[in-house]
Amino acid sequence: MGWLDAAGYQVRLGENGRVQCRNGKGKLLSSVPASLKDDPRVVQLRQLAEWLSRHEAECLAAVDGWMVRSLPVPAALIAEVWADATWAAALRDLVVTADDGSGPETGFLRDADPERGLGVVTLDGDTRRLRPEVVGIPHPVLLEDLEELREFGAELGVEQKAQQLFRQTFTRPDSVAGKTSVDDYSGGKFEQLNHALSRCRTLGYPVRGGDAVYSAFEDGRVVEARYWLGSDYPESETWTGGLTWALEDGTAVPLADVGPVAWSEGMRMAAAIHAGRVVEEAVVNQ
């Protein structure tokens, strides 16, 4: 973005999303002078920065939703939004699956154009143009060649804005038959329930009825992962409980019936919240 005149100074929106200012001699200042705080140009730039930040978050949230819900995305939609640099940044380098009639193909999304179709780099290193009706953005736990894709992605220098390739994943073990709760992350102490709730807000997980909740759409139904945090006074101590899964109506789902995405995302949620617990320092005897 070019420089704009503002009361004897010039201002612009920098690449870091902050308003930059330079004086009449062209020297870049460390901050915007207080006298320009309410200048119309500065106000407009700050409003633009806020909008761009919200837009980026909305694009990433949408892409993340397509991935964790395993939703087929119309290829025409991807080609249409690609012209928006923020959308393109959110989609670029994601691993996608597509079939335009010549057979299923998996690769890194590098380009999208309404006329030429999608540009995809396959695991063979070939760049192909595909014109499918829909595109899949698989959750990493569903990618059979995940490790190979990670290695090849590192070679290509891919930088995914949306967490996919290097998203923390968990595979459901075979030993869960007959069980209804995971206790790996129970017993985590927080000095205040408020601290646990704050961590959930930071991580983006809603809390309902004392549980941190993650809703996954899998096999045609919504399955909620629920991680117990406590429901006492916000200022009181609390200890985390078990991780369970249930349908929207509250019906418990046995661990053996939890799908791979719901399992992985539930475990990921519990692990991230549990990491913020109070860790007692070990006393070393002299």
What is the reported pLDDT for 92?
94
Distances (CA, A) of 109 to 82, 143, 144, 243: 11, 15, 18, 35
Number of other CB atoms surrounding residue 226 within 10 Å: 25
What are the start-end ranges of the E strands in 99-162? 105-113, 117-122, 127-130, 134-136
* Spatial contact of 32 and 39, defined as CB atoms under 8 Å apart: no
Q: Residue 198 is encoded by which pair of tokens? A: 């704050």
What is the reported pLDDT for 79?
94
Instruction: Give the integer Cα–Cα distance in Å for 164 and 142.
Output: 11
pTM (2 d.p.): 0.79
What is the reported pLDDT for 158?
87
What is the reported pLDDT for 282?
53
* Spatial contact of 186 and 241, defined as CB atoms under 8 Å apart: yes
Sequence-distant (6+) residues with CB within 8 A of 195 are 276
What is the reported pLDDT for 27?
87
Sequence-distant (6+) residues with CB within 8 A of 135 are 72, 73, 74, 75, 78, 96, 97, 98, 109, 118
What is the reported pLDDT for 214?
94
What is the reported pLDDT for 172?
92
Each residue's pLDDT, cut to its tens digit, for the chain (286 residues) gives 688 888 888 888 887 778 888 888 788 888 888 888 888 888 889 889 888 899 999 999 999 989 888 788 999 999 999 999 999 999 999 999 998 888 888 999 999 999 899 999 988 888 889 999 999 999 999 998 888 999 998 888 888 988 899 899 999 998 888 899 999 999 999 999 999 999 999 999 999 999 999 998 888 889 999 999 998 889 999 999 999 999 988 899 999 999 999 999 999 999 999 999 998 765 455 4
> 129 in helix, strand or coil?
strand
What is the reported pLDDT for 17?
79
Instruction: Give the integer Cα–Cα distance in Å for 194 and 204.
Output: 15
What is the reported pLDDT for 15?
77
Which residues share a beta bridge with 216?
Answer: 223
Q: Which amino acid is at 236?
A: S
* Spatial contact of 185 and 243, defined as CB atoms under 8 Å apart: yes
What are the start-end ranges of the E strands in 137-195? 189-190
Nearest to 265 by CA among 68, 48, 112: 68
